[in-house]
Structure 1
Amino acid sequence: MAIKEQELIAARLREYCQKQGGQNKAANTLKGVSSATISKILSGSWETIAEGMWHNISKQIGLSSEGWTIVRTAVYEELTELLECAQADSQVMAIVGSAGCGKSATIRQYTTTHKEVVSITCSEYQNRTSWLSAVMEAMGLDPRGMSVAEKIGAVVRKLRQADKPLLILDEADKMSDQVLYFFISIYNELEDHCGVILSATQYLDKRLQKGLRTGRKGYEEVYSRIGRQCVQLSALSPEDIALVCVANGVTGDRRVRKISDEAQCDLRRVKRAVWREHQLAEDAQ
Structure 2
Amino acid sequence: MNTETKQHIKNDLAQFVQKIGSQLGASKRMREVSNGTISNILAGKWDNIADAMWLSIQKQVKNSEWMHNDTSLSKFMDFFYTDIMLYSEVRCVISPSDTGKTHSAKRHVSNNTNAFLISCDECMTKRDFLEAILIAMGESSAGKTTRKMLNSIIDHLLRVETPELIFDEFDKVKDEIFLFLISFYNRTEDKAAIIIQGTPYLKQRIEDGVKKGKKGFVEVFTRINSRFVEPPQNKPAELMEIARLNGVADEEELIRITNDSDGSIRRIKSSTKVYLRRPKKLAA
Taking structure 1 as the reference length, what is the TM-score of the superposition? Answer: 0.82
Aligned residues: 254
**Deviation of 1:196 (Å):** 0.6
- Counterpart of 2:251? 253
More off after superposition, 183-192 vs 251-260: 251-260
- Counterpart of 1:121? 119
CA RMSD in angstroms, aligned pairs only: 2.4
- Counterpart of 2:39? 45
User: Following the alignment from structure 1 to structure 2, what is the Cα–Cα distance between the partners of residues 194 and 223?
Assistant: 18
Paired residues of 1:165 and 1:195 also in contact (CA < 8 A): yes
Paired residues of 1:74 and 1:234 also in contact (CA < 8 A): yes
2:92 aligns with one of 91, 94, 97: 94
Deviations 1:73-127 (A, max 9, x none): 1111011111011101111100010101011111111111122111110111111
- Counterpart of 2:27? 7
**Deviation of 1:232 (Å):** 0.7
Paired residues of 1:62 and 1:112 also in contact (CA < 8 A): no
User: Following the alignment from structure 1 to structure 2, what is the Cα–Cα distance between the partners of residues 128 and 283?
Assistant: 54
- Counterpart of 2:132? 134
**Deviation of 1:175 (Å):** 1.5
Structure 2 residue identity aligned to 1:262: D
1:173 aligns with one of 168, 171, 174: 171
Deviations 1:50-94 (A, max 9, x none): 9xxxxx988842577561111111111011111011101111100
Residues 6/116 of structure 1: CA separation in 2 closer, same or farther (3 Å cut): same
User: Following the alignment from structure 1 to structure 2, what is the Cα–Cα distance between the partners of residues 43 and 62?
Assistant: 14
- Counterpart of 1:189? 187
- Counterpart of 2:261? 263
1:217 aligns with 2:215: yes
User: Following the alignment from structure 1 to structure 2, what is the Cα–Cα distance between the partners of residues 262 and 131?
Assistant: 36
Structure 1 residue identity aligned to 2:21: A
1:236 aligns with one of 234, 252, 258: 234
More off after superposition, 247-256 vs 127-136: 247-256
User: Following the alignment from structure 1 to structure 2, what is the Cα–Cα distance between the partners of residues 44 and 2?
Assistant: 13
1:160 aligns with 2:143: no
Taking only the aligned residue pairs, the percentage that are identical comes to 22
1:74 aligns with 2:72: yes
Structure 2: runs of 5 or more not aligned: 1-19, 45-53
User: Following the alignment from structure 2 to structure 1, what is the Cα–Cα distance between the partners of residues 155 and 261?
Assistant: 44
Residue correspondence of structure 1 range 105-120 to structure 2 within 5 A: 105-120=103-118
